[in-house]
Chains A and B, each alone.
Chain A
């Protein structure tokens, strides 16, 4: 699992997840994600490179969204594959975090 991040011109933190989550790396994944998100109030997580999403990874995403919300900010998910979207929906997480199709939608959603 690769995690890349950049701060866009408008101050939004864009995090891109690439590859496959596995149980062995999940603690490290969550720690990395939390460290990146800390202090940010506008966060987009690009899921387009994610092969599979499991509940342990989902837990990390929800925790990060709660961290951002505590700062009166917003975390949105962007461009999940059809397969990853099915898991987001089945888990109920799609009612907790906005899910956007592309970057333009995500930028609008993170500021709304």
Chain B
């Protein structure tokens, strides 16, 4: 199993460098199918940008720690942040889309992640939100 770790201050400015790191980690695994890489990058982007945009602390920006574990057939992703408690599994209800006119344009990030991953779990550990994802990894 190959493991990668990254730590950042959750700011919009830091997202670009983080995205480059995540893509580099994925590209180290030449056998990963492009759609699997896409799922991993989209999920990381949605969840880390949620912290950068919405998480609050009494002082300063939250810290985000990301761990990626690549194993045969699966990528495990652990995202930890020390922002305010936030469980995306219960705090983000999915709004049903009935038609375009009444559709809510935003708030679809967690819904995308839930649809694209094979498992997702959350726990609060001390001052940290800990989110774990499992992504089914297809090979080319």
Hey, which bits of chain A sit against chain B, CB under 8 A?
22-24, 52-56, 58-60, 62-63, 65-66, 69, 82-83, 86-87, 89-93, 95-97
List chain B positions with a Cβ less than 8 A from chain A: 12-13, 15-16, 19, 34-35, 38-39, 41-42, 45-46, 49, 52-53, 97, 99-101, 103, 105-109, 111-112, 115-116
| A55 adjacent to B35 (CB under 8 Å) | no
Q: Which residues of A contact B99 (CB under 8 A)?
A: 96
| Cα(A63)–Cα(B105), bound, Å | 6
| Complex Cα gap A53–B111 (Å) | 14
Contacts of A52 in B (CB 8 A): 38, 41-42, 45
Q: A22-B15, A23-B52, A83-B38 are known contacts. Are A55 and B100 too (CB-CB below 8 A)? A: no
Q: Is the CB of B97 within 8 A of A92?
A: yes
CA distance in complex: A65, B101 (Å): 9
Contacts of A87 in B (CB 8 A): 38, 42, 112, 116
13 of the cross-chain contacts (CB-CB < 8 Å) are A54-B109, A55-B108, A65-B100, A66-B101, A82-B35, A86-B35, A86-B39, A87-B38, A90-B111, A91-B115, A92-B97, A96-B99, A96-B100
Known: A22-B16, A62-B100, A96-B99. 6 other contacts (CB 8 A): A23-B45, A24-B15, A54-B109, A87-B116, A91-B108, A95-B97
